[in-house]
Amino acid sequence: MNVLLALAALTAFSGAHAQSQPSPVGATPAAPAEAPTPPDTELLHNGKARVLQADYDAELERVPANIRAGFGTDVDRINALLQQILVDKTLAADARAQGLDKDPDVQRRIQLTVDKLLTSIVIERDRAAWGREFDARPGNDVAAREQWLTQPDKYSEPPRYRLTTITFAIPPNTAAEALERAEAARASLASGTDTKALAASLASTPGATVESASEATPLDKQDTQVRRALERLTAAGDISRPIRQPTSVRLVRIDERVPGAPIPFDKAKDGILKQMRDAYIDAKLAEMLNGIRKDPSVVVNQPAVDKLLVRVSPDDIKRAMKEALQSREQGARRAGSQAAPPQ
């Protein structure tokens, strides 16, 4: 059976199987889980290559863990992966038939790939072991509570802000007019003018609005530019610099800053323990890697290593920089000439 027929058969089987299943009604018991397919089971083949269950399982391990569980619910995804495996194995068979795997350069690249794979497997195994080691430590909950007590700002809800927003729309204002009027409004607020008086003074200004919020909201409810402006302000009465946007220039003034309430320990504990666990694993990994890097038994062939350094003279650097600058200027001139309207 060729690959297209195999994949079509798989699709047809999946569709028919789905249609044959009764709709769940009430508390219908779930069907018993099927036994896993043996790794050496053939899924499909062509004249050059076979795809086994083990091949599929190995490729599935490369799918991000957060979507791996649901991968098998989509027959199109399964078909695409099977097809890709068959293509890879077919091309690999062609390469072996041509003797490419015997080429010394290719063998070195294969060995490097194997080394990197083994490295990732060892690190994955060790990280799992260090995670279990952390989980078995006594006193983790006590340490987590200490962090929660000593870092109240870190384990609190974000502060909320009640704001007044002054907006100068573009148009009817030009960008320059909107910026100038925003600077004047900012100076007026800084001198003590209240928002009602400012709103009255701007009533006849085209495109000007003053809006005072009735409720405080957290930063993540603001757009990105306003959020960045608020991050530089600290207290009620603080006024942002003009915030330039495509269709307006805005000011925001903090009318009230409501501190975030502490997150209860029971709610924060799992997150704190995860941070502690990750930090423990990262420290163990760094310790292992540093031990390899600083191993006193390492012998360096310094003359050969020195030859890896490409030495460039200062004159060569200056010449390269000059050529790059000239190339950019020429590109800018070409772009300008293409954008210029016909006379």
Asked if the structure places residue 319 within a domain, the reply is no
Asked if the structure places residue 107 within a domain, the reply is yes
Q: Are residues 141 and 165 in the same domain?
A: no
Run of H or E residues at 45: strand 42-45
For residues 45 and 51, the answer to whether their CB atoms sit within 8 Å is yes
Per this entry, what is the length of the chain? 343
Asked if the structure places residue 266 within a domain, the reply is yes
At 296, the amino acid letter reads: P
Q: Taking the CB of residue 78, how many other CB atoms lie within 10 A of it?
A: 19
Q: Are residues 119 and 249 in the same domain?
A: no
Q: Please give the Cα distance from 65 to 67 (Å, whole number).
A: 6
Asked if the structure places residue 333 within a domain, the reply is no
**Along the 343 residues of the chain, how does pLDDT read in single tens digits?**
444 444 544 444 444 444 444 444 444 555 566 788 999 999 999 999 999 999 999 999 989 888 888 999 999 999 999 999 999 999 999 999 999 999 999 999 999 999 999 999 999 999 999 999 999 999 999 999 999 999 998 999 988 999 999 999 999 999 999 999 999 999 999 999 888 899 999 998 999 999 999 899 888 888 888 888 888 888 889 999 999 988 999 999 999 999 888 999 999 999 999 999 999 999 999 999 999 999 999 999 999 999 999 888 888 888 888 889 888 888 877 776 665 555 4
Q: Are residues 69 and 109 in the same domain?
A: no
Asked if the structure places residue 172 within a domain, the reply is yes
DSSP class of 262: B
Q: Are residues 172 and 134 in the same domain?
A: no
Task: Say what the pLDDT of residue 138 is.
Answer: 94
Per-residue 3-state assignment (H helix, E strand, C coil) for the chain: CCHHHHHHHHHHHHHHHHHHCCCCCCCCCCCCCCCCCCCCCEEEECCCCEEEHHHHHHHHCCCCHHHHCCHHHCHHHHHHHHHHHHHHHHHHHHHHHCCHHHCHHHHHHHHHHHHHHHHHHHHHHHHHHHHHHHHCCCCHHHHHHHHHHHCCCCCECCCEEEEEEEEEECCCCCHHHHHHHHHHHHHHHHCCCCHHHHHHHCCCCCCEEEEECCCCEEHHHCCHHHHHHHHCCCCCCCECCCEEECCEEEEEEEEEEECCCECCHHHHHHHHHHHHHHHHHHHHHHHHHHHHHCCCCCCCCHHHHHCCCCCCCHHHHHHHHHHHHHHHHHHHHHHHHHHCCCC
Q: Please give the Cα distance from 224 to 324 (Å, whole number).
A: 35
Q: Please give the Cα distance from 257 to 234 (Å, whole number).
A: 8
Q: Out of 258, 281, 311, pick the residue that ends a domain.
A: 258
Q: Are residues 12 and 87 in the same domain?
A: yes
Asked if the structure places residue 302 within a domain, the reply is no
Residue with tokens 């068959």: 86
Task: Say what the pLDDT of residue 338 is.
Answer: 60
Q: Out of 64, 87, 102, pick the residue that ends a domain.
A: 102
Q: Please give the Cα distance from 237 to 184 (Å, whole number).
A: 17
Domain that holds residue 235: 160-258
Q: Are residues 79 and 221 in the same domain?
A: no
Q: Out of 56, 85, 102, pick the residue that ends a domain.
A: 102
Report in angstroms the alpha-carbon separations of 323 from 90, 141, 240: 46, 62, 43
Asked if the structure places residue 220 within a domain, the reply is yes
Domain count, the chain: 3
Asked if the structure places residue 338 within a domain, the reply is no
What is the token pair recorded at 214? 């009735």
Q: Are residues 282 and 242 in the same domain?
A: no
Which domain CATH number covers 251? Answer: 3.10.50.40
Q: Please give the Cα distance from 99 to 85 (Å, whole number).
A: 21
Q: Are residues 278 and 228 in the same domain?
A: no
Run of H or E residues at 164: strand 160-169
Q: Taking the CB of residue 75, how many other CB atoms lie within 10 A of it?
A: 17
Task: Say what the pLDDT of residue 114 is.
Answer: 96
Q: Are residues 85 and 133 in the same domain?
A: no
Q: Taking the CB of residue 200, how many other CB atoms lie within 10 A of it?
A: 12
* pTM greater than the 0.85 cutoff: no
Q: Are residues 115 and 187 in the same domain?
A: no
Q: Are residues 8 and 94 in the same domain?
A: yes
Q: Are residues 229 and 112 in the same domain?
A: no
| Nearest CA among 157, 188, 178 for reference residue 253 | 188
DSSP class of 240: P
